[in-house]
Structure 1
Amino acid sequence: MDPNNSRLRTVHVTRYVTPLREGGSLPAIAEADDDFLYVLKFRGAGQGPKALIAELIGGELARFLGFRIPEIVFANLDEAFGRTEPDEEIQDLLRASAGLNLAMHYLSGAVTFDPIVTVVDPQLASRIVWLDSFLANVDRTARNTNMLMWHKELWLIDHGASLYFHHSWQNWEEQAQRPFAQVKDHVLLRYATEMDEADTAFKKILNADQIRSVVALIPDEWLLADSPFDSAEAHRNAYARFLELRLSVSEIFVKGAQNARESLI
């Protein structure tokens, strides 16, 4: 896949502003050649391109389903950045990330979602729990909600911990058809009383064509890094097949979420 032919924009990083040290992979705020600020995720970080692939798939599928997601862009990082950064840890990260990375528009002034302060209605809560169960996103907990309030609206961020099966690809077709066990820790689970309605609504608009249009966005160079597949296309097809399978048996993870909620309350 050529990023230049993608529906995602490609920007060039012009200034490394500051690291976001609360993230385990040291994302950073950076400025690009369009004069906007972005949260930059690095291909050279601990989980490598897999975290960027999960971020891309999760974020763009969420956007298609109607959630508020900051704009996602491809971000080119020049190797010169690694020579000018005084912090050795960051310097190594920048050097390992020269080339194509991923970035999200920085929502200036946004505040972290607090479930005690902000009440989420059952429909939205159910849809978010459905999304995270579908994506196998382990990182939407009370400890780390990965949601922001910006201009009084709820925005979803950081889907890099989704699709955790792809760190090994063991029994991935079987995993596609399992409940999402970690849903028990989801920060919005107790409010998700409309899971069946969310399932019906999303299955009316999400299908294999939309899934494959999102998966097609993944750059070949990310797929070829540490790949268990013979080609980028085979790797890309496996992602699509996982999501198609999971969607076809969505009642399994919906029921799993409902059972987990009953245990919670």
Structure 2
Amino acid sequence: MPEVGPLQGEAVIFTGTPKSLDVFDLVRQYGGTPYSMPLIEVNEIEDLTDEKELKRCIDFDWLIFTSQSAVKAFHSKMDRFHMTSQQIPSKIAAVGTQTAAALEKIGFTVEFIPSIFSADVFVKQFKPSEDRKLRVLFIKGNLAGTIIREELPFQVEEWTVYETVTKLNSVQSIIEMLQTSKNSTVLFASPSAVRVFEEGVVPVVGWEGYFIGAIGHVTEKALHHAGAKVDVKPEIYTLKELVIALARRKEEIQ
């Protein structure tokens, strides 16, 4: 670990729940100190219809996943009802390499990933070659937008497998960190986290005095709409690339 790096003395606050601790190690390698203060948490939605819905998956030509959280909840249901990936012949589409990796880890082969990891790009680039009318299932969270259902030219059904809820105990921790740390960066990975931050943190500390990083143009747009200035956004929409982009930006201004 270097004694001096572009993030030396920087408190880097993650407002989501990283699926891997590698990003924390990366922050430390750059000389910074990572803090996990998730403003939202994800819980699987368990329903009496889960087994029926899971078995219905075989009737769809494609299954679409836009987050690792959806994969995790879906896998939990597969385990609960003793179903394997081999029993689901549907083709798989994923938004993002991390989501794809999570799917491949549980036995699926991902056949489509958009070039930019967001739903609006996905609907433009997802053009299966099959001639017949396709049946598509979007496996999602409760806060997912309507763009996939409304803009894909197929018969799209949805299955909500997880919910995103506010984690209020992190709000005070972030406020205290921003009030006491001389150099802080807050990283956002979703509009949901932006909303909680805007409602709970901003009335106390405002949007000034710290760096702001965003994964993706959708989260960046949510920040702009809330009145924030986004200092760094990676070209590839992953937490790892966001940390790398942050380190480069800090190095430029030192």
TM-score range for the pair, normalised by the shorter chain length = under 0.3
Identify the structure with the greater strand proportion: 2
Q: Which has the larger radius of gyration?
A: 2
